[in-house]
Amino acid sequence: MEEWTFPVQYDEEYLPDPESPYWFEQRETMDPQERDAAVLERIREVMRYAYDNSSFYKNKYDEADVNPDDITSFEAFEQVPVITKEEMRTSQTEHPPFGDYVCVPSSEIHHIHGTSGTTGTPTAFSIGRGDWAAIANNHARILWGMGLRPGDGVFVSAIFSLYLGSWGAMAGAERLRCQVFPFGAGAGGGMTARAVQWLARCRPRGFYATPSYALRLAEVAQEEKIDPKEFGLDVMFFSGEPGASVPSVRKQIEDAFGATVIDTGTMAEMTPFMSAAASAGTPEGMLLWQDIVWHEVCDPETFRTVPYGEEGTPVYTHLERTSQPMIRLASNDLTRWVMEDNPCGRTYPRLPEGVYGRIDDMFQVRGENVYPTEIDNYLRTVEGYGGEHRVIVSRSGSMDELLVKVECGRSETDGFEKEVASGLQNVLGLRPAIEVVEVNTFDRSDHKSRRVTDEREHTQRGSG
């Protein structure tokens, strides 16, 4: 396998044959069982490294009676306890600022990123110099698989702040020797209109953002009397939220821009987060680049791997990170995986619908499990949908109520309201109340969209 060492040391001058669809052809197309055998050996190395360099992993494995050297099969690896975001936050509270799972000296830390902390204590991500170089190489390899090449323009239109997505996309594009335009987003009023101007002027081949921002960009371009197809984009790749693997969202973006839509992304903690990403030859869903990060799809109760074809929660293990290695990090996301022939020739498993929801985003209404993405996905199939909506969950007496406020672009709204109510009843198993509002009633997002408000706890307190 090409450049297969730990700690990894990539050749920074390496570029594949321009005609090859692969960055590392052997690694990407080899027999999966042969590659998995090498991965299993690497997992033992990473576990031993973490055990020897971090009190977090040493204590966790000692408590669970886990010896890294005993992980001689993937069945044995499934017995290794998962780690959770809550454990990471606790570790950082007790061992500030980076927790006792950081495995390199502070002098080696190159980038610091993190969560916003808007819903609690922020989590800090410390990334070593060697890890940052490895992330750039991995993302360059995946961008190559999308069809981007040295010299291509790549417009990075996601916020440059603690958020790792924009920085990871930029690092990969820089390593690929692209012309990188770090535009950002949301830094002030009128930024999206300026993005329209710059895209029309520079006409890059590649574009990175969240799906919500791409849809907002198309709206603003049309307001500015510019057809988004005039940007000349060929490859639009996304992360940060579900959407790019949802057929209705994909089609809306493809129709607006005339570009190939590529879904990517796992978790910020797992950067290189593009280890789950589609390719030019297999653009639907996401391939699991198993020689960069080991991906499992597991039962959310037992954290044992589910068979191909079944749904579960992704569990991730770094194969190259040395600064804050994640070993069996439970994502709390939802997905389904398959193992089948991929049109691009890569022999990786695939998530045919991408990562389409979160277990902790689910809420219950009258005994039915409701996932916000189910509402999003359905509404984008309805003719006349105005582009945004809001979901409000409340309680009247002992009865839960679900209200969906939907923007409508039709001149006649009664039929729209009935269609949405009936369609959502079929999708959700319960009939929500529908309130039709005018287009542009709700703010558009420059980053991740947040559309759900659960007022039940407040309602219960107030009724007492």
pLDDT at position 55 is 98
pLDDT at position 40 is 98
In CATH, 1-359 is 3.40.50.12780: yes
Instruction: Show me where the domains of the chain are located.
Output: 1-359, 362-463
Instruction: State mean pLDDT over 102-126.
Output: 85
pLDDT at position 185 is 78
pLDDT at position 224 is 94
The single-letter DSSP state of residue 299 is -
Instruction: Reply yes or no on whether the pLDDT at 458 is more than 90.
Output: no
Instruction: Reply yes or no on whether the pLDDT at 399 is more than 50.
Output: yes
Return the higher-pLDDT residue of 137 and 429.
137
Q: Helices 247-257 and 372-379 meet at what angle, rounded to 10?
A: 40
* Helix, strand and coil in the chain, % to nearest 5: 35, 20, 40
Instruction: Reply yes or no on whether the pLDDT at 190 is more than 90.
Output: no
The count of other CB atoms within 10 Å of the CB of residue 402 is 21
Alpha-carbon distance of 390 to 210, in angstroms, equals: 19
The single-letter DSSP state of residue 304 is P
* Burial call 183-206: b when 16+ CB within 10 Å, e when fewer: bbbbeeeebbeebbeebbeeebbb
CA distances from 105 to 54, 126, 285 (A): 11, 11, 38
Alpha-carbon distance of 161 to 163, in angstroms, equals: 5
pLDDT digits (tens, 9 = 90+) for 38-87: 999 999 999 999 999 999 999 999 999 999 999 999 999 999 999 999 99
pLDDT at position 459 is 45
The DSSP line for 27-79 is HHHS-HHHHHHHHHHHHHHHHHHHHHH-HHHHHHHHHTT--GGG--SHHHHTT
pLDDT-derived band at 461, boundaries 50, 70, 90? very low
pLDDT at position 462 is 38
What CATH code would you report for 362-463? 3.30.300.30
CA distances from 145 to 142, 178, 286, 358 (A): 5, 14, 12, 27
Instruction: State mean pLDDT over 436-448.
Output: 83
> pTM here?
0.85
Instruction: Reply yes or no on whether the pLDDT at 312 is more than 50.
Output: yes
Instruction: State mean pLDDT over 265-278.
Output: 97
Q: CATH topology of 1-359 equal to that of 362-463? A: no
pLDDT digits (tens, 9 = 90+) for 122-176: 889 999 999 999 999 999 999 999 999 999 999 999 989 888 999 999 999 999 9
